[in-house]
Amino acid sequence: MKDTLFQDIAQKVATTGQPMEAVLAQMGVRSDQLDAMLQAVATKEVKHEAALDAYTSKKNIKVDETELPHLLQLSPTDAQALIARAKAVSQMDQLFEAARRTKALEAVVAECNCTYVQATEDEAKKRMEEVVEVMRHREEMMRAAAGSAARGAEGIHYREPRYCWNDENAAWLDTG
């Protein structure tokens, strides 16, 4: 799982024409930090899949081929092409596992009792202004990083802001 995540990132970085090390340096991330982040994401994903697999077993969730387009979120034509490729390389089991997990997730969400408190118009307006400000800040930082990379500058350290909504203060807080 971690290797797959790394390959996805490496492919995206390759489109920039810069080496991975340069991109990490621009972001202020060491390779060991990237490895730790990918490991954490992979661990979370494996736990998520294990929980859904346990749920599918407990509820005896089954999937047939007619459900695949919906569960894989594909058009019928794209689903048929994917099914044909999966059959050709003997990977139908993996395809059905993914579909069963999606069906289990749909069942879990359907069983949930969710409550939602409607924000007042003023609260919603303030929240949107704060979201726009966060997005502006992010764009400025990305432009600065891209400009420095284009000039060949080293030493810029971009930290991805991490925000969470604080109901008590009715504001977005930078938790990074």
Is the backbone of residue 162 left (phi > 0), alpha (psi -120 to 50) or beta? beta
Q: Which residues pair with 173 in a beta bridge?
A: 164
Tell me, yes or no, whether 44 lies in a domain.
Answer: yes
- pLDDT value of residue 136: 82
Identify the domain containing residue 40 by its residue range: 1-60
Tell me, yes or no, whether 132 lies in a domain.
Answer: no
Tell me, yes or no, whether 52 lies in a domain.
Answer: yes
Tell me, yes or no, whether 30 lies in a domain.
Answer: yes
Q: Which has the closest alpha carbon to 148: 52, 27, 45, 67?
A: 27
Q: What string of DSSP letters covers 134-151? A: HHHHHHHHHHHHHHHHHH
Tell me, yes or no, whether 82 lies in a domain.
Answer: no
Q: Total domain count for the chain?
A: 1
Tell me, yes or no, whether 118 lies in a domain.
Answer: no
pTM for the whole thing? 0.55
Tell me, yes or no, whether 2 lies in a domain.
Answer: yes
Tell me, yes or no, whether 114 lies in a domain.
Answer: no
Q: What is the pLDDT along the chain (176 residues), one digit of tens a residue?
A: 788 888 888 888 888 888 888 888 888 888 888 888 888 888 988 898 999 999 999 999 999 999 999 998 999 999 999 999 999 999 999 999 999 999 999 999 888 887 778 888 999 899 899 888 888 877 777 776 665 555 554 544 545 555 556 556 555 655 55
176 vs 71: CA distance, rounded Å: 36
Tokens coding 77: 């034509």
